[in-house]
Every structure is written in C-alpha cells, then in structure tokens.
C-alpha cells in the first residue's frame, strides 16, 4: 500500500518501482502472513478501511488483470464494501455479478459522479489502481488517467494499492481483522517457536 512516503514527495506517482519494492518503512513479525501484514499496515499508520467502507477499483487495459480483480471485488462486496469503478472496470465487474457504480475519471471533472469529487468529499476509503504494464504499446493517456487517480488519492490521504497480490493480501487481513495484529511477542519468543531451530 502506498501513502506515507508519497505524502512527502509532492507530485510523485505512487507506484513502487523495482528499487522501492525491495525497501519499506516497516517490518513486522506475526503468527502468519496476514497477522504480520496487518501489523505492518498499522505500523505504517495506513488507515485500514472498515468492512462496510467504500472502494474505488480502476484497472488498466490489461484484460487479464480485469479478470483477476473479479474475485477480489467479490470478496470486498461480501464484506459489505460499496464498490465504485471506472467505466471499463465497472462493466467487467457488473457482468461478473459484482455491483459497482461508475465514477468518471478526474479529467472528466465536469461529469458527475466523478472520482475527484468523491476523493475530496472523503467518500472513498481505499483505491485499487493497477497501472498498465511497461511492456505494452503506447498508453500515455491511460498512464495519465491512472497517475491522476493515484496522486489525487494520496493527496486526500486515501490508501492506494497498485498490484493485485497486495489487494488479495488486504482482503485476507480484512476477513481476519478480529484476530490479526493482536499477538505481541518478543523476537526471542518467535525464534523459540521455529521448529527447525537447533
């Protein structure tokens, strides 16, 4: 999830590159991945959206990613999230049985309902915006749309997820929210639990 670092980098696109993916602001240990990830989110002071919150989903032109986001969106819907999406993503979601409302892109600010208004009015708790892969053909307009969505979300303190693996991990955290992040142990206590320890 991106938010804390990018708040300090005015105008930076909140997409993690190769170098940034290998670093982080927090590292946490938990009983399992979901528990550790939940603690990391809390330690980074990223607001975890409530189960009845709102989410904006916008996937680039990659049809495979549009298909891969369907079970993620269904999981959010089962947790009573209200789902908003850009037009093409909303069409895919609605055809797959996920109720989503179209929000128009920021560059269409004169058309309602639009993403910028919803971000400004704090009507969105989480943004999932997966950009187009670098190897694809000319997509400068799409990148501009995605960049504006990601950047505006960061400006209004809305967490942004830019890859589907992280979105899946967040779904798991939210499903187990009552049990995640509750265990506090010292490093020695965790080491003592390791079965292969000599």
CA 120, 96, 51: angle at the middle one, nearest 5?
45
What's the pTM value of the predicted model, to 2 decimals? 0.77
If you count DSSP H runs as helices and E runs as strands, how many of each does the chain have, helices first? Answer: 9, 5
Strand partners of residue 130: 59
State the Cα–Cα distance between residues 142 and 138, nearest whole angstrom: 9
Average pLDDT of the residues in 168-194:
77
47 class by beta-carbon count within 10 Å (0-12 exposed, 13-18 middle, 19+ buried): middle
Residue 17 has pLDDT above 60, yes or no: no
Give me the CATH topology for the region 4-193: Rossmann fold (3.40.50)
Structure confidence by residue, pLDDT tens digits, 60-84? 888 888 899 999 999 999 999 999 9
- CA nearest neighbour of 145 among 127, 168, 165: 127
Per-residue pLDDT, 102: 94
- Are 11 and 162 contacting, i.e. CB atoms less than 8 angstroms apart? no
When the pLDDT of each residue in the chain is averaged and rounded to a whole number, the result is 79
């Amino acid at each position: 999830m991106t938010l804390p670092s990018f708040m300090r980098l005015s105008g930076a696109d909140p997409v993690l590159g190769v170098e940034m993916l290998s670093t982080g602001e927090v590292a946490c240990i938990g009983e399992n991945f979901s528990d550790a990830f939940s603690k990391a989110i809390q330690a980074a002071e990223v607001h975890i959206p409530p189960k009845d919150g709102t989410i904006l989903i916008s996937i680039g032109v990659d049809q495979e990613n549009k298909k891969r986001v369907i079970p993620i969106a269904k999981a959010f819907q089962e947790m009573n999230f209200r789902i908003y999406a850009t037009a093409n993503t909303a069409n895919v979601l609605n055809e797959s049985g996920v109720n989503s409302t179209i929000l128009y892109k920021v560059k269409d600010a004169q058309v309602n309902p639009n993403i910028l208004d919803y971000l400004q009015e704090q009507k969105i708790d989480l943004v999932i915006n997966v950009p187009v892969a670098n190897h694809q053909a000319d997509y400068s307009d799409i990148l501009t749309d995605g960049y504006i969505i990601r950047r505006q979300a960061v400006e209004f303190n809305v967490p942004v997820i830019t890859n589907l693996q992280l979105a899946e991990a967040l779904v798991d955290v939210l499903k187990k929210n009552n049990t995640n992040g509750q265990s506090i142990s010292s490093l020695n206590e965790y080491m003592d639990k390791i079965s292969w320890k000599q």
